Amino acid sequence: MAGRQGRTFFFEKKKQKTFTRLAAASPEKLGQGSKVFWFFFSKKNCFLSFFLFSVNVQAQSVDYGSLEQMFGEPITTSATGKPQRASDVPADMVIITSDDIRRSGADSIPDILQFITGIDVRRYGFADWEVGVRGYDSPLNPRLLVLVDGRQVYSDVFGFEAWNTIPVQLSEIRQIEVVRGPNSALFGFNAVSGVVNIVTFDPLLDKTNAVTVRGGTQGYGEGEAVATLNAGTTAGVRVSAGGWTASGFAQPAQAADAPPRYASFNIDGRWQALPWLLISASGGYTDAHTLSMLPIAMTEDFRDHLNYWRIGAAAQTHAGTINLDIYRNQDLHTTSEDGDNRTLVVRLNDLVKIDADNTLRGGLEYRNNAVTSIPLYGGKIDYDNYAASLMWDWQISPSYELTDALRLDHLVLHETGTLLPILGRTSQLFNSTTITEPSFNSGLVIHPSELDTIRLTAARGLQVPSLADFDLQLQVAPHVYALGVPTVSPTSVWNAEVAYDRSLQPLPVTLQTALFFQRNTDLLAAPGSAPYRPLGGGIIGSPVENFGSSNEIGAKLGLRGTWGGLRWNASYRYATISQDEITSLAQSQATDFSHGTPAHEIILGAGYTLGRWEFDVQGRFQTKFTDYGTNAQGVLIPVTIPAYVTLNARIGYKVTDKLTIAGTAEQFDAARILDAASQYIDRRFIASMTYRY
C-alpha cells in the first residue's frame, strides 16, 4: 500500500511467532527509509494492535495521515511513543479529529470539549473557561495538563489553563487527544485528573493552507490563516496567525475598557537533516485580554503577553530512537502585579525496541519554573524539578499487552526577595524545601476477540503545588492577604479502572463502558480558600492548606455509530465524590468538591452529510451542582447552578472543493443559561467562511 508522498509501507502478519509477508514485495526492496509495521491478528485476521519498527537507521515524523488511511480510525503516539489506536492505549483516551472539529462549528477548544463524556466545562466569562476531567472543578483548575504537540501550555503560576492564550488556530489542528484519569508517568509533570494534547498538522508531511473568517452576535469577529511551505520530504514550515474581538455577554457586562480580545502568531518547522536525524523548531506569540475568575470568587482583569520557543531533535540510532526536546514559555501578566512567569524544560527520551514483543522508553527531564513580581511574591519564587521515568511495553501475546510506567520527581524550591514576617516565612525555610515523590501507570489491554477490548488500569498521579501555593502574598484588603506556604504537600491521586468496548456487528455501532474508583489524599486548598484569621504583626491571612482526602466513584456508558451519511453518538456519565469533613476550611469552589461536581451527564449528537451539505447537532444535559460567588459585600456565598440543557447546531455547505460556508447556533434552545456562578451565558449565532488552497 502506498503512503503519501511516495512512501511505501509493508505489512507483516504475526501468528504463533511466525511472520508471513502480505505485501507483494521482496525483502530486498526494503531500502533506506523504509518502514515495517508488524500487525497482530486474531484467528480471523482482524487487526488488534501494532507498533512501528524501523528496518534501517532512520528518524522521521509519524505519518498520521497514512496510518489513518490504513486503519480507518485516528492514531496516537503520545502515550507510549509508538503508534496506537485509542482503544489500544493503556489509558482512557478519546480522539477528536479535524473533521469533528469542523463539524462542531465551535470557535474555541473548550466549546468542543464540552461534548466529550466526563469533561465539565464552566464558562466564567466570554473568553474564560474552566475545564475539568472527572470532577474536582474550580476556577484556575490546577489538575489538568494541557499540551500542544507535547509542549506544556498551561500557566505554571497557578497551574491552570488560560484557553484563550493558546497560540494555535483550529484549522491547523489534526486532532485533540483527551485522556481521563491521572497519567503523570506516561504524559509528564502534573497530569493529575487528565490530559488534553492538541496535535497539529506536520509541516513536513501535510499541506495545510486555509483562511477562515467568522462573525456573529456579541460583537464577535475573527480571522485566522494557516500556510504551509515544504520541499518534498526534506523540509517544511507551517505559519499561522489569527485574532478575534468581541463585546462580551450582556450580564454582567464586561468592563468598558476591557473588551475580550485575542491575537496570536505561530511558526513550526521540520528538517530531515540526515536520513537518521530529524530537526524541529517552533515559536509563537499571543496577546490576550479577558476577565477571569480566581479561586477566591474574585474576577481579575488578565492582560497576558505570552511567547515561547522550542527546538528538538530525533535521532534513530542502534541504541533506539533518541529524542531531545527543549522549550521555554514566558507569560508576562501586564496588570498592576506585573507578574513574569518563565518556564524552561529540557527532556531527553530513548525509545528502544528490544525485540518483537518488548519496548522500553527511558526519560530524563529538567524543569525550571519561576515567577517574578514584587507585589505578589515579594520578589522571585522558583523551583528546579528533576525527573526520571521508565516505561516498559510488553506484547505478552496477540491478545494481551501490558504497559508499566514509573516516574520519580525531585523538586527543589528557591526564593529571593522580601517576605511578609508571618507564619515563619523565611528565605531559609523556602530554600530548604524539597519534594520527592513517585508516580506510576499500569495498563493491561486484552482483546478476547476481534470485537472486544478490555482495559484494566491503575495509576498514581501528583498535583504539585503551584508557585502561588508556595509563596503568594496577594493583598485583598488593607493588611489582609491570601498566602502561600512553602511546606505545603502535593495531592496524591490514586485511580483504578476497568473498561470494556465492543463492536456490535453486524450493526455499525460501538459500545464503550468504564467504571473507575479514585482516591485523593492531601487535598490542596488554594490561597484564600481558608478562613481569614490573625497571623501576627497586625496581618489577617488565609494561607494555603492541605485539608484531607476524598473518594470518587464514576461510570460511563456510550454508543456511537455511522450509517451511510448518518453519524450519531449517545453517552451517559455518573460521578459521586465523598469528602472528609472540612473542619479547618470554609467551603468554597476550591474545597467543596462533593457538591461541586454534577452527578449525572447525558450527551447526544447526530449528523448527516448529503452531497455538499453537512448537518450536525450536539446536546448536553447535566444535573445541578454548587458553585461559589461573592455577594454585594464581597462575602463568599454558595450558588446553586440548576440542571440545564444546551444544544448546538451547524449547517455547512461546500460551495466548491475549496470554499465552505457555515452557520452555527450555540445554545439555541435557551436565550440565557447559568453554568457557573459569575456569568450568564447568552445564545450565540456565528457565520463562517473557510477557503482551503
Cell, residue 217: 452576535
Q: What pLDDT is stored for residue 50 in this prediction?
A: 36
Same domain (yes/no): 98, 77: no
**Residue 534: pLDDT band with limits 50, 70, 90:** confident
Same domain (yes/no): 490, 574: yes
> How many CB atoms are closer than 10 A to CB 622?
22
Q: Across all residues in the chain, what is the average pLDDT?
A: 84
Paired residues of 555 in beta bridges: 515, 574
Calculate mean pLDDT across residues 159-174. Answer: 90
Q: What pLDDT is stored for residue 57 in this prediction?
A: 42
Q: What pLDDT is stored for residue 226 in this prediction?
A: 97
- Of 561, 666, 689, 552, nearest to 619 by C-alpha is 666
> pLDDT tens for residues 4-29?
333 333 333 333 332 322 232 222 33
Same domain (yes/no): 554, 680: yes
In 112-147, which positions are buried (b, 16+ CB within 10 angstroms) versus exposed (e)?
A: bbbbbbbbbbbbbbbbbbbbbbbbbbbbbbbbbbbb
CATH of the domain at 572: 2.40.170.20
Q: What is the extent of the structural domain holding 428?
A: 92-692
Q: Indicate if the alpha-carbon torsion angle 406, 133, 547, 339 is positive or negative.
A: positive
Cell, residue 629: 460567588
pLDDT at residue 277 tops 90: yes
- Residue where a domain terminates, one of 47, 65, 83: 83
Q: Answer with the residue of higher pLDDT: 456 or 293.
A: 456
Report which DSSP code applies to 247.
-
DSSP collapsed to 3 states, 541-581: EEECEECCCEEEEEEEEEEEEEECCEEEEEEEEEEEEEECC
Report which DSSP code applies to 233.
T
> pLDDT tens for residues 348-365?
999 999 999 999 999 999
Same domain (yes/no): 184, 140: yes
Paired residues of 198 in beta bridges: 148, 176
Q: What pLDDT is stored for residue 298 in this prediction?
A: 62
Cell, residue 300: 481579575
pLDDT at residue 38 tops 50: no
Same domain (yes/no): 73, 196: no
How would you classify the pairing of strands 434-449 and 452-463?
antiparallel
**Residue 164: pLDDT band with limits 50, 70, 90:** confident
Same domain (yes/no): 64, 119: no
> pLDDT tens for residues 381-435?
999 999 999 999 999 999 999 999 999 999 999 999 888 878 778 888 889 899 9
Q: What pLDDT is stored for residue 603 in this prediction?
A: 97
- Of 333, 330, 247, 353, nearest to 283 by C-alpha is 330
Q: Which of 246-250, 345-349, 451-455, 573-577 has the lowest mean pLDDT?
A: 246-250
Same domain (yes/no): 307, 325: yes
Count the domains in the chain: 2
Q: What pLDDT is stored for residue 299 in this prediction?
A: 65
Same domain (yes/no): 9, 141: no
Same domain (yes/no): 67, 181: no
pLDDT at residue 130 tops 70: yes
Calculate mean pLDDT across residues 301-306. Answer: 78
The torsion angles phi and psi of 470, rounded to 5 degrees, stand at -75, -40
Q: What pLDDT is stored for residue 612 in this prediction?
A: 96
Cell, residue 597: 461536581
Same domain (yes/no): 315, 238: yes
Cis amide linkage into residue 506, ω under 30° from 0: yes
Same domain (yes/no): 26, 105: no
- Residue where a domain terminates, one of 25, 59, 83: 83
pLDDT at residue 296 tops 80: no
Calculate mean pLDDT across residues 645-658. Answer: 97
> pLDDT tens for residues 227-270?
999 888 899 999 999 999 998 887 654 444 468 889 999 999 99
Same domain (yes/no): 539, 587: yes
- Of 464, 519, 520, 460, nearest to 488 by C-alpha is 464
Q: Answer with the residue of higher pLDDT: 338 or 100.
A: 100
What number of CA atoms fall less than 13 Å from residue 521's CA on the CB side?
A: 5
Contact 347, 147 (CB under 8 A): no
Calculate mean pLDDT across residues 31-47. Answer: 35
DSSP collapsed to 3 states, 68-135: HHHHCCCEECCCCCCCEEHHHCCCEEEEEEHHHHHHHCCCCHHHHHCCCCCEEEEEEECCEEEEEECC
- Residue where a domain terminates, one of 83, 113, 139: 83
Q: What pLDDT is stored for residue 382 in this prediction?
A: 93
Q: Distance between CA atoms of 268 and 295, rounded to whole angstroms?
A: 35
